[in-house]
Structure 1
Amino acid sequence: MHPKHLKTKTFNYGDSFEAIKLSKDLSGLDYLKGMQNGEIPEAAAVSALEISIHEIDFGKANFEFTPQDFHYNAVGTVHGGVISTILDTAMGCTLMSTLTKEFTFTTLELKVNFIKAVTQNTGKMIAVGKIIHAGRTTAMTEASLIDESGKVYAHATSTCLIMKKAQ
């Protein structure tokens, strides 16, 4: 690529390993609130994409981003991987917000439906997470990516494994 076509993006991110270490003694909600208030580094992946916490509470983790050109794919819309990332983040953190300090989770399966194209003209987008079912070892979650008027642009479901934290 010719240098005149290149843009530069820099970003700051926290120490992921420090965040993981801090999570060992915190409930999921306390961990997420620590990220929200800047006491705990947020995940580098969400920092790179400029995704941020919109709202955190027990059983609720909503994230937001404003589409920019670095989110785009080759056909001029926000890349499906970016949309999948924010939806996965909202679903996982919604589940995490309900877990005690002894437990963590991992995503086993993720399904995303892309409903409407997301572009810079769409404005701020919010991924709203919800728990469909949470048992002792598995959970099912969902999230919708909406604009500020509530119009849905994408919807996802996920199956998660709930497990004891490694000591």
Structure 2
Amino acid sequence: MTSTDIQVDGTVAKRVGELTEVFERGLQEKLGVGASLGIRLESAGEGYTRYYLDPNPATINAMFTVHGGVIATLMDTAMGSAVFTKLGDNTAYTTLELKVNFIRSVAIDGKRLICEATAVHVGRRTATAEGRITDIDGKLIAHGSTTILVLGPQG
């Protein structure tokens, strides 16, 4: 991710910086979905994130396609992060509900998966977001939504 991929607004820039820091630390320490599955943050702005995943052997199921749980994890990560970009300082969140509609299976053929997510509503106690996963050719793989519990501010 480059600085040109970040919308410059004080709070948003701070949230995006925190997202970037968490993912970079996870990669360095071999922790989290970035290290274990290969999920990467590509860009972010106010209420928006774009993540990608290059399918790899760690992401497959018994049918040698990308596991539905991995696809759901990519979407959950992107949608939660989209909401996070709109939260205030010291405010955490957790997923209350995740709905994923799987449209087609994904072969391990080197085609990148891209998830774009948008925060729809961010309130004091709950938030909602939507996400879409496409392959590099723009074919829809899955779409979904989430309801998030806003936990904050934390002291």
1:43-72 per-position Cα deviation (integer Å, ceiling 9, x unaligned): 523310011111122211111011123211
How many angstroms apart in 2 are the aligned matches of 1:131 and 1:83? 19
TM-score (norm: length of structure 1): 0.75
Bigger radius of gyration? 1
The Cα RMSD (Å) is 2.0
Residue 71 of structure 2 aligns to a residue whose secondary structure is: helix
Structure 2 residue aligned with 1:150, among 126, 135, 138? 138
Change (3 A) 1:129 1:85: same
Residue 93 of structure 1 aligns to a residue whose secondary structure is: helix
The answer as to 2:83 corresponding to 1:89 is no
What is the aligned partner in structure 1 of residue 58 from structure 2?
Answer: 70
The answer as to 2:100 corresponding to 1:112 is yes
Structure 2 residue aligned with 1:28, among 15, 24, 42? 15
**Residues 75 and 132, structure 2, Cα contact 8 Å, conserved in 1:** yes
Q: Offset at 1:35?
A: 4.2
Residue 42 of structure 2 aligns to a residue whose secondary structure is: strand
- In structure 2, stretches of 5+ residues that fail to align are 1-12
Q: Offset at 1:122?
A: 6.1
TM-score (norm: length of structure 2): 0.81
Q: Which residue identity lines up with residue 116 of structure 1 in the other structure?
A: R
Change (3 A) 1:78 1:52: same
Residue 76 of structure 1 aligns to a residue whose secondary structure is: coil
* Matched positions, count: 140
Task: Choose 80-89 or 70-79, whichever is displaced more.
Answer: 70-79
Residue 121 of structure 1 aligns to a residue whose secondary structure is: coil
How many angstroms apart in 1 are the aligned matches of 2:88 and 2:17? 9
How many angstroms apart in 1 are the aligned matches of 2:116 and 2:101? 15
Residue 88 of structure 1 aligns to a residue whose secondary structure is: helix
Change (3 A) 1:84 1:156: same
How many angstroms apart in 1 are the aligned matches of 2:76 and 2:120? 14
Q: Offset at 1:133?
A: 1.6
Task: Choose 89-98 or 116-125, whichever is displaced more.
Answer: 116-125
**Residues 122 and 147, structure 1, Cα contact 8 Å, conserved in 2:** no
Identity of aligned residues (%): 33
**Residues 126 and 148, structure 2, Cα contact 8 Å, conserved in 1:** yes
- In structure 1, stretches of 5+ residues that fail to align are 1-25
**Residues 128 and 145, structure 1, Cα contact 8 Å, conserved in 2:** yes
